[in-house]
Amino acid sequence: MDLYSGHINKLIEELAALPGIGSKSAQRLAFYLINLSQERVNRLANVMIEAKANVRYCKECYTLTDEEICPVCANPDRDHRTIMVVENTRDLAAYEKTGKYEGVYHVLHGAISPMLGIGPGDIKLKELIERLQGDVEEVIIATNSSLEGETTAMYISKLIKPIGVKVTRIASGVPVGGDLEYIDEVTLLRALEGRTPM
């Protein structure tokens, strides 16, 4: 049903196709945009186009960046012999936010998922193995603790171990501040298995 004029409908349609934006939010957003100044709309549109055109993979770690080499990889003070493997740039940012990790990263851009037809060849895995030709001491696997993340972690660990590089996995368990009562059984069991001496 065409409730609105052509331009408005087209805009709503495009917005509703974005992830996490339902048809109601798309309507609200569309009218918000139409009520902005032409200047503001042009700016938003240009920022989108510019970002898409200029953002690329870091040649070292494959995170999304404006430069050939991202700031982390370009920093000589980082420990380049420790590589943390993450699924995407947002996960990298989550660890950077802690301000405590001193190594570098490797961004896979996905995780192995037989269900979704994503195989080892579809993520930046070959690129990780290539990096291990250099001087690398430890690979920390920080993929999500979802089914796909765990599968990917297992796969990578089997692939790297023969090369003779130390492989570790970030701990999974009860989140800090988490209330046991609200935590799922799998996590509780994982936390139990991973218990450490006090």
Closest to its own copies by CB, 47 or 186: 47
H-run or E-run covering 170: none
Q: Interface with its own copies by CB under 8 A: which range of 43-51, 115-123, 146-154, 186-194? A: 43-51
Q: How far is the CB of 141 from its own copies (least distance, A)?
A: 21
Under rule CB under 8 A, residue 187 binds its own copies: no
Question: How far is the C-alpha of 142 from the C-alpha of 161, rounded, in Å?
Answer: 16
Under rule CB under 8 A, residue 144 binds its own copies: no
Under rule CB under 8 A, residue 16 binds its own copies: no
Could you tell me the two tokens for 125?
Answer: 């895995």
Under rule CB under 8 A, residue 185 binds its own copies: no
Under rule CB under 8 A, residue 180 binds its own copies: no
Closest to its own copies by CB, 10 or 81: 10
Q: Interface with its own copies by CB under 8 A: which range of 34-42, 127-135, 157-165, 185-193? A: 34-42
Q: Are 75 and 105 in contact (CB under 8 A)?
A: no
Under rule CB under 8 A, residue 90 binds its own copies: yes
Under rule CB under 8 A, residue 68 binds its own copies: no
Which residues would be at the binding site for its own copies (CB under 8 A)?
A: 1, 3-8, 10-11, 14, 18-21, 24-25, 27-34, 36, 38, 41-55, 64-67, 70-71, 88-90, 93, 96-97, 181-182
